[in-house]
Amino acid sequence: MSVVPTMSDFQNLWRGRDDLAVLTFNLNGETFAIEAVTVQEIIDLLPETKVPGAKPFVSSVINFRGKVIPLADIRLAFGMEATEPTIDSRIIVIELELDGELALTGIRTDRVFEVTTLMRSASEPAPRVGMRWRADYIECLVKRDGEFIILPNLQAIFAGTDQRVGMPTTTQQN
């Protein structure tokens, strides 16, 4: 069952602050942002090793400074088409708490833009209807310069157990 974010989940993102420092990046023409404090490093693409049986959006690992870390293509979690890397493609290495432990993870992007500040007053929770993506995969949307910046819920994306990532959770018959 998919869990739709509540207003209290939305408020937890801001933790009483009026602004949030984020790193913005591009996936398939959409602007996303993740909280800057989770970013460890931005690196050029590295050789990948495929992991048999892994979820499609985390199907490989990379060697990051002597550590093997998963490499995620969250565009697949959102049901977007996979794309070929370009000269602008980068990996954002983040540190997330998963199952009570800190874990390094790489996120493949089409382009990294900037570290910037987003204002709470310009944000709102993801709508429950009319979204092409799972609402529980989105922390909030922030309007800036006439466009929306999507803050993904990385906890929900990486902790999800549904093998059909990017699809609404429903009962499926074989």
For residue 174, being part of any structural domain is answered with: no
Res 164: pLDDT: 37
Q: How far apart are CA 174 and CA 172, in angstroms?
A: 7
Report the domain count for the chain.
1
Per-residue pLDDT of the chain (174 residues; tens, 9 = 90+): 344 444 445 556 777 789 999 999 999 999 999 999 999 999 999 999 999 998 889 999 999 999 999 999 999 999 899 899 999 999 999 999 888 889 999 999 999 999 999 999 999 988 777 677 888 899 999 999 999 999 999 988 988 644 433 333 333 344
Res 119: pLDDT: 94
For residue 80, being part of any structural domain is answered with: yes
- H, E, C per residue of 89-123: CEEEEEEEEECCEEEEEEEEECEEEEEEEEEHHHE
For residue 85, being part of any structural domain is answered with: yes
For residue 165, being part of any structural domain is answered with: no
Domain assignment of residue 150, given as a range: 7-158
For residue 171, being part of any structural domain is answered with: no
Res 132: pLDDT: 75
For residue 77, being part of any structural domain is answered with: yes
- H, E, C per residue of 31-98: EEEEEHHHEEEEECCCCCEECCCCCHHHCEEEEECCEEEEEECHHHHCCCCCCCCCCCCEEEEEEEEE
Closest to 57 (Cα-Cα) out of 149, 141, 168, 160:
160
Q: How far apart are CA 174 and CA 168, in angstroms?
A: 17
At 91, which CATH number? 2.40.50.180
For residue 2, being part of any structural domain is answered with: no
pTM of the predicted model as reported, rounded to 2 decimal places: 0.83
Distance of CA 65 to the CA centre of its chain: 22
For residue 169, being part of any structural domain is answered with: no
